Amino acid sequence: MPIFGTDGVRGLANGTLTADLALTLAQATAVVLGQGRTAEARKAAGKRLTAVVARDPRVSGHFLTAAVAAGLASSGVDVLEAGVIPTPALAFLVADRDADFGVMISASHNPAQDNGIKIFARGGVKLPDVVEERIEAAMAGEKLRPTGASVGRIIRFADAEDRYVVHLLGSIPHPLDGIKVVLDCAPGAASGVSPETFKDAGADVTVIGADPDGWNINDGVGSTHLDQLAEAVVRLGADIGIAHDGDADRCLAVDAEGKVIDGDQIMAILAVSMKERGHLTDDTLVATVMSNLGLHVAMREHGITVRQTAVGDRYVLEDMNAGGYALGGEQSGHVIMSEYATTGDGLLTGLHLVSEMARQKKTAAELASVMKVYPQVLINVRDVDKDALEGDEVVQAAVREVEAELGDTGRVLLRKSGTEPLVRVMVEAADAESVQAYASRLADVVRERLAL
């Protein structure tokens, strides 16, 4: 069974994700990513491979980081240990220090008992499937066993956070000029660096969810739990609330009235601004098939093309890299600004969103009004033969029928789960009553036709 999922290796810490596994994975990573023209040139010049290693504040991150660092150093890799920093900071630092690769210990928005290992190649980019497969195969093969002076060193990366902050501050188009911001850091990897950066950018900052104890990461706060942030913004009379997840590669927001501004709306705001400023390559935005129909309508009205990919920020990034596009992301808040980052960056996204408020002298709600969010219903139809979905003509006929009835006023998407025996039925339409009726109708057909 493959150990890599949609975003690295993830599982119950010390259950499925053990120190032994982390060490072996690190050794295999050294074997695979230590190959190639650049790595061989380093070796020929008498230089060891270098990797940046970081973590979020989960308790299990301590022993997993130690295991990864030990596996790399025992394979002759010099380790720059950056401590607790966001995943996008790790990605940036791999490129900034010209390291051979990087390893992030984090389970992102998962609860504290879980953890994960994300690997970034040279330049701070996520690994393609084929490289993950090679690393997995190498776990059962011969490892690098240098001795004496050839073993790697583990070195504290003392200025890691400072380098990242300077990078972020240099990216924003306009200072934040006293805008009142509530930050929810989930209490995760952004708990130290995000408040510091927003303050340095000129914002008036109040912080919630920023006292990590190793167990409270994502616990009722952060980008997957916005109620506390919304309440704080309204109670304090703030202009906007910004929420990160545990490793801060996501950003969602709430306006002054506590209304959620999701990833689609954030992308719409940034896309229009970037087009106006000449920063949106080919006037194109890359989004997934799950993005709201309202995003497509809004972008069309502003002369912006929306390219669609499969669900997952890695697929968005692949399409962006292939076409050289500047902006892409997901409704969940993974937003990629390729001029400044190689992956989703919640701090970068939040800073640019608030910067737009200051630059345009508009409220968050006014900016978000660029896009109307169409009512969306998602029904998970469980215990069905998901693999028969595309071949069942009755189901496909039902989809075509609903699409014909909706015309240009709605959208239908049926998608099989990658991990469970279920089919996701998603319908968007101009009014809530219609969208629920259409989704229920299609779900009934799927349930009847594909039942196990």
Residue ranges for the known binding site for Mg(2+) are: 108, 245, 247, 249
**CA–CA–CA angle 94, 114, 261 (5° rounding):** 70
Say which residue the tokens 């998901």 belong to. Answer: 386
Element (H, E) at 67: helix 61-73
- Indicate which residue of 108, 191, 291, 434 is catalytic: 108
Query: Residues with Cβ < 8 Å from 156, sequence gap 6 or more?
Result: 81, 83
Beta-strand runs (E) in 352-448: 376-382, 410-416, 422-429
CB 84 within 8 A of CB 55: yes
Query: Residues with Cβ < 8 Å from 130, sequence gap 6 or more?
Result: none
Quick one: tokens of 33? 């990513």
For residues 56 and 87, what is the distance between their CA atoms, to the nearest angstrom?
8
Query: Positive or negative CA dihedral for 30, 31, 33, 35?
Result: positive
Which residue, 261, 322, 331, is CA-closest to 296?
331
For residues 329 and 342, what is the distance between their CA atoms, to the nearest angstrom?
12
308 DSSP β-pair partners: 287
Is 75 designated active site?
A: no
Quick one: tokens of 25? 């994975």
Element (H, E) at 25: helix 19-33
428 DSSP β-pair partners: 376, 411
**Residue 129 backbone phi and psi in degrees, to 5:** -55, -40
Binding-site residues from annotation: 108, 245, 247, 249
AA letter at 114: D
For residues 296 and 387, what is the distance between their CA atoms, to the nearest angstrom?
29
SS3 148: helix
For residues 67 and 26, what is the distance between their CA atoms, to the nearest angstrom?
8
Which residue, 236, 180, 163, 195, is CA-closest to 354?
180
Element (H, E) at 198: helix 193-200
SS3 83: strand
Which residue, 80, 55, 62, 100, is CA-closest to 155?
80
For residues 418 and 411, what is the distance between their CA atoms, to the nearest angstrom?
22
The residues assigned a catalytic role are: 108
